[in-house]
Amino acid sequence: MESKETAPEVKIGILTSGGDAQGMNATVRAVVRTALQLGATPYAFLEGWRGPVEGGQLIKKMEWSDVSSTINKGGTAIGTARSDEFRERSGMKKAVYNFVKNGIDRLVIVGGDGTLTGADELRELWPELLAELVAEGKVSEEEGERHAKLLIAGVVGSIDNDLVGTDMTVGTDSALTRIIEAIDAIAATAASHQRTFIIEVMGRRCGYLALMSAIAGGCDYVFIPELPPADGWEDDLVDKLRLGRKNGRRDSLIVVAEGASDQAGKPITAEDVRVAIKDRMGEDPRITSLGHVQRGGTPSAYDRWMPTLLGYTAAWDMYHATPQTEPVIIGTRRNKLVRLPMMEAIKNTRAVKEYLTTGDWDSAVTSRGSHYREMIDLFNTLSSPEAPERPKNSKRIGILHAGGLAPGMNPAARAAVKFGIDRGYTMLGISGGFPGLVDGKIRELKWNDVEGWAEDGGAELGTRRTIPDIDQYYALGRAIENARLDGLIVIGGFKGYKMAYEMYKESSRYPAFKIPMVLVPASIDNNLPGSEFSIGTDTALNWNTETIDRIRQSASASRRCFVVETMGRKCGYLALMSALTTGAEQVYLYEDGITLRQLAADTQKMIRSFEAGRQLYLVVRNEDASEYYNADVLANIFEEEGGDLFDVRSLIIGHAQQGGNPSPFDRTLAVRLVNTAMNTLARELEGRGGSYHVGMVDGHIEAQPVSHMDELIDMDDRLPFEPWWHCLKEVLYVVSDPTADLELAQLPIVVDANDA
């Protein structure tokens, strides 16, 4: 990176427009602070497009502190508003004038497709409008030459997740979290009264929120714009609800996207669904329309760290842009950042409206990506009210948990049972992990036994960190034979992976170990081989984020340093991401270690910050970052050196990180991982009977053989080689520490759209 001394003078504007979305503040914060670190001057255009049109006080030069304490807030701190004047040529001309007079010709725009389209139209008209301003004498020829083009980068802020080409838009995860919180609450009262509830969610032309919330919430039926039901949907809906009640389901939950319609294009509203059920079942369902609560509230952990990366990258791009730089949208694809040609992405997004209008449902679904179609199919299986008939020679498949508890184990077990039964297998729940298998604690799990597990934390089957040692291998083999297991699904952490690896190595001595086994990653540590994310990690991260937010509030009336310790053992993922989502100033990881020299430098930096007026300094520590420099020792060092300037408190978050209902991400991830696990198991039941572990790699769910596990992870330290997230530490310091050494900062992995 260029140093502050050699970088050219650059001014970068930032603007949010259209509907607000949680995570916009994280984007703005990252743009402002990255620009400052690069040596550029950031400006905020307040109140959306009104800022450039009206100018004056609506154009604000931004300082570091202007975006302090904003990452945890919903909405947008710089405001958003629709500007009718900007839609007119005269309004755009005013915008060009205000841009140029403030010396700004680079813009990061955060909003939906309408906002981004307006930005690109301004870019196209810029030379023409600028020439008119020069001719009129309102702008000098020198100013015209210096700002001959407008350079733009976009970040999509839209809770609908409706941009074609990116996996997740800013605000979607938070909106989905709001919906799931409501569905979980409604499910409890619905079951109490054996009642049907209809939940209406946002999504005019995209059913993402409706579909994912229906899967994560264990719902019975969903209406989405991309897949309208055929004529007679009312009878199909009622038949499904009746069958579910007949088979013991106490509640009925239906999700309706606001843009749902039938195949003739007639809207299907929550009221239409209510009337259909009342007329055919004599029951009066209750409607809950969530409305703008989906946009509100505190952003989720994902809607803090990912928008931070997006804003960081957008600012980087604008700083290094040249007149030849084409406008792009910074998005996400396959867990990487991606640059999408702006107008191509918008064109593809708007094409969906045409598909819906002409009844080209297949193209509408395809435009959302293969993952979307997959989830539609999986929802149909999970929401089926009864199990298919089981064949006579059914394969017997065991399910067990191993390792520490991870939120999302129950949704994973539920999915395994339903997908297995759908394939004709006999599904057997093994209580208490591998020790339970040795002790024969096995029971058959039927279709309705796992109803209600979709939203539950904990693990109904129980889990144990203990695994059999070599002296118990014979007993383990006999237990497998006695249970007549044809295959095994292990949902858990490193201990489960280690046991499967040992069974693979000992399979020549113990033939019973040769049954097909598939491992599904579930661990808040996020340290399992062959998977970028483990079930439970997102829930734990959200808990940490919420807890640290409260710590920040508790320090608002004092000058205080907090040292917060997270779980994760030797894996620093939770610590680093908790620091990134809460705006921490310092993080200590096992992967980096802690030295006395580093502590001395960090302490001096902390003291200088408080002397400059800081009220709170947040330090996050990975629990195994150092054997000797634990949280209390760090707090004592900082307290001693700080004197009367500030006080210090330490907090170990502890096992609360393993509790709570799983997040929507962990629930849907569990479904996808288990689906691949069952597909892999089915293949191996027909073949050699190999053992595999499944995981997300570059955004795809794939299976890898257990035999090569030691090539992916240090089996002693339980650490995957070259974790994808470690480079984000430098981004943390760029956006949290104004004294960061920019020579260390690296741009996160960004790939071209065609390569993603």
Residues taking part in catalysis: 160
Give the integer Cα–Cα distance in Å for 156 and 72.
19
Structure tokens at 435: 């020790």
* Among 597, 234, 677, residue whose Cα is nearest residue 412: 677
What b-and-e string marks burial along 267-292, b requiring 16 or more CB atoms within 10 Å of the CB?
ebbbebbbebbeeebebebeeeebee
Give the integer Cα–Cα distance in Å for 329 and 343.
9
Give the integer Cα–Cα distance in Å for 225 and 606.
53
CA angle 717, 718, 723 (to 5 degrees): 105
* Residues counted in the chain: 756
Question: CB-based contacts of 127: which residues, under 8 Å, 6+ apart?
Answer: 148, 149
| Beta strands 560-566 and 647-652, pairing class | parallel
Give the integer Cα–Cα distance in Å for 156 and 311.
11
For residue 708, CA distances in Å to 501, 520, 533, 703, 715 come to 9, 16, 19, 12, 12
Question: CB-based contacts of 190: which residues, under 8 Å, 6+ apart?
Answer: 196, 197, 250, 251, 252, 253
| Beta strands 11-16 and 41-45, pairing class | parallel
CB atoms within 10 A of CB 551: 17
8 Å CB contact between 491 and 410: no
Beta bridge pairs of residue 320? none
User: At 322, is the secondary structure helix, strand, or coil?
Assistant: coil
8 Å CB contact between 53 and 98: yes
Structure tokens at 666: 């962990």
